[in-house]
Structures are given as structure tokens and as C-alpha cells.
Amino acid sequence: MISLIIPTTSKNRNYTENIVANIQTLYGDTVEIIVEENDNVTLGENYNNAVARATGEKIILLHNDMILSPGFVEQMDKHIQHNRITTYTRVEPPIFNDIYPGKVLLDCGIELENFDHNKFVNHKLEYDLIDGGSQLFFGCMREDYIGIDGYTFRMFCEDDDLHRRYRLAGFEHKVSCAKVYHFVSKTSRTTDNYQQIELQSNRNYVRKWGSRLDAPKYNIGIQVTKCNLAVLDLLEPYCDRIYIDDDMQVLTTHYMDVEQSKTRFDLSKRIMTTTYNNPYDYDDIVVEADATRMTQEDIAYIFVLPGIIQDSGEIGTFRLGNLKITIQRLETYDHTLVKLN
């Protein structure tokens, strides 16, 4: 049996009711439908809780604002196998115009009331199974599910994190011709502050992986003299620890009062005082900077430093702009992030 996983909240229940009815019409009781509704946990935690209840050998992660095409489960059943993440194809109205493997733009309506079922069903894809796949629109063997990091990410970026972890674990990524119609963000973008949540999720992604690049995770400490709040805000996510002159903890306290509620990373362990802590005792790679001399180019170097080190890093000290960079060790830590703690 295949388990279809549908996380949702109390918002837009008509979409949840619709997809359940859609599945039952197509498949009756030949599939297992797991609906997990909880307003008090993150999207990832909702998914994980639903998967924990599933009994099927294979699972498919859905959103509540979807309609499955006839043959969807049969195609996914054929394409899901061990050590593979199989993304199904989403047909979407042109609300967000980016396209990539697994996403097709076709306006069949933006609400249930104006959905053009015939237009959707009659649209033919030109592939059966191709390379690619991203986001939380996929199926896999239940025993291959490694869990979504709903602890770090309230919403957004958990998909980038998950697929990065699967790639590190050696899984192949494929896109199936099995298709759904996706009305787009009937739950995730219904809150007024979703853009702020998305920004914070990107900052937490950088805290976890070191950058937005597909580069190794290194252990980096940044020591900044004459630091101010703006520089602290810019650089703190891009290192494991940032060292500043702040014996009275004024800058640290002000920053944490604003930022700590937006992340589950313990900022008290990430912001250190240079009087009492030497980065060379803690960190493999140390960046030294003077905030009064830093340029936009220097900040850009820090944002992509893992990529620079990956391409040309070696033990020793070198300069980039106004930055002094010392590499003591070149150990990488990606493997420690594959499994959830």
C-alpha cells in the first residue's frame, strides 16, 4: 500500500476536504490517506508526525491545495524505489513564473471554484522519468524518509535542507510524469508576515550550512573589532561563532533581544567576547576584520567564503580585501547534518 501524506492547518479546510474526496474518488480504500492538522507545530513537524502514522511501504508527500490526476498513484508507485527521491510534476497557474524540472505552468484556475478539470487532465507531459527534483513534492520508500527539519525551519527552506541532506546521503533525484494541479500557497502564504518568516528561514539555513552555496560546511569563526549592531546582524549567521569587543554585553543583549525569538540556534553560544574567548582555540578557520574598514566587497567575500575555501583553500594565512583569514584545519562537517538529532 502507498500512504498519501497531507499536512494542513485549520485554514482553508475546503481544500483539504477536496483533495481527500479527489483521492477517494480515484482510489477508494486502496491507498492510505494520512491528514495531519495542527496549527501549533511547523510544516515539517506536521509532515514528520503524519509519516510516523503511515503504514504504507511507500509514502508520497502532498499539499492540501492539490488535485491528483488519474493514474497519479500508479505512476509514482512505478517510479519510487530505494535510494531515490521521486518528485511528482506540479501543474500550476502562473502565479510564480519560474519553471524547472517538476513544475509546469498552465492556468487551469487559481481557486477550486474556477478549476478547469478537463484542461488539466488533457495536458500531456513529454517525459516519463527525468533527472531533477526539489521542494516538498515527492515520494520515497517509507524507510528512506530521513525527516524534515521542522525544528530549525518554521516554514520555507526546509525543502532545500532536506534535498541537500538526501544528496549527501547518496540518493538520486528524479522527476516523474505523475502530475497534480497545485493551486499554490493556500496555507504557507496566508499569514501576513510570511515574507519575514521566509527571510528568517534563509538566515537559519545559513546558520546551519554556513552559506547559501552548495559548498562544504566548515567550522568558521569571525573576529570583528569595533563591531556595531549592523555588522553583527550581517555576519552572525555566516559563522559558527562571532567574536566581538563587548565586555559589558550591551551589543550582544540588544541583538539577542531582537533575534533570539526568530531562531532555535542558541545565540549565547554563537556570540563571544574577545576578552575571554580566543577564536584560534575554538575554530578551524578564523576570519579577522575591523568593522570600521569593512567594505561591501569584504562582506561579499564572507558570504561566499566556503566556496572560496573549497576551490583554493589550504592550511595557512591569506588576505581577501581587508580580511585576514587563517585556515588551521580543513575538516568538513556536512556529514554531521544529514540525520536529524
Going by C-alpha positions, the residue among 60, 68, 67, 56 that lies closest to residue 32 is 56
Average pLDDT over residues 87-97: 95
C-alpha cell at 125: 507531459
Dihedral sign, Cα of residue 18, residue 173, residue 96, residue 98 = negative
Pairing of strands 129-131, 172-182: antiparallel
Q: How confident is the model at residue 221 (pLDDT cuts 50, 70, 90)?
A: very high
Q: Please measure the distance between the N-terminal and C-terminal CA atoms of the chain and give it in whole angstroms.
A: 29
Please say whether the beta carbons of 277 and 249 come within 8 A: no
> What are 321-332's pLDDT values in tens digits?
999 999 999 999
Q: Would the pLDDT of 192 be above 70?
A: no
Question: What is the separation of C-alpha 121 from the centre of its chain, rounded to a whole number of angstroms?
Answer: 31
Average pLDDT over residues 29-33: 96
Q: Would the pLDDT of 269 be above 80?
A: yes
- Identity of the amino acid at 269: K
Q: How confident is the model at residue 56 (pLDDT cuts 50, 70, 90)?
A: very high
Average pLDDT over residues 206-215: 96
User: Rounded CA gap, 3 and 23, in Å?
Assistant: 11
Average pLDDT over residues 224-237: 97
Going by C-alpha positions, the residue among 242, 154, 239, 163 that lies closest to residue 202 is 154
Looking at residue 187, its pLDDT comes to: 64
C-alpha cell at 218: 566548515
The H-or-E segment that residue 290 falls in is strand 285-290
Q: Would the pLDDT of 51 be above 90?
A: yes
Average pLDDT over residues 209-236: 97
% of the chain with per-residue pLDDT over 90 = 87
Looking at residue 89, its pLDDT comes to: 97
User: Rounded CA gap, 138 and 62, in Å?
Assistant: 8
CA angle 263–269–273, rounded 5-degree value: 125
Average pLDDT over residues 285-296: 97
Looking at residue 277, its pLDDT comes to: 95
Looking at residue 152, its pLDDT comes to: 92
Q: How confident is the model at residue 191 (pLDDT cuts 50, 70, 90)?
A: low
% of the chain with per-residue pLDDT over 70 = 98
Averaged confidence pLDDT in the chain: 94
Q: Would the pLDDT of 130 be above 90?
A: yes
φ and ψ at residue 197, rounded to 5 degrees: -65, -40
Number of Cβ within a 10 Å radius of residue 192: 7
User: Rounded CA gap, 70 and 76, in Å?
Assistant: 12
Looking at residue 190, its pLDDT comes to: 55
> What are 108-127's pLDDT values in tens digits?
999 999 999 999 999 999 99
> What are 158-187's pLDDT values in tens digits?
999 999 999 999 999 999 999 999 998 766
Q: Would the pLDDT of 133 be above 70?
A: yes
Q: Would the pLDDT of 341 be above 90?
A: no
Going by C-alpha positions, the residue among 267, 311, 299, 305 that lies closest to residue 285 is 305
Q: How confident is the model at residue 53 (pLDDT cuts 50, 70, 90)?
A: very high
pTM to 2 decimals? Answer: 0.92
Spatial neighbors of 92 by CB under 8 A, at least 6 apart, are 103, 104, 105, 106, 181, 182, 183, 184
Going by C-alpha positions, the residue among 116, 87, 90 that lies closest to residue 179 is 90
User: Rounded CA gap, 210 and 201, in Å?
Assistant: 13
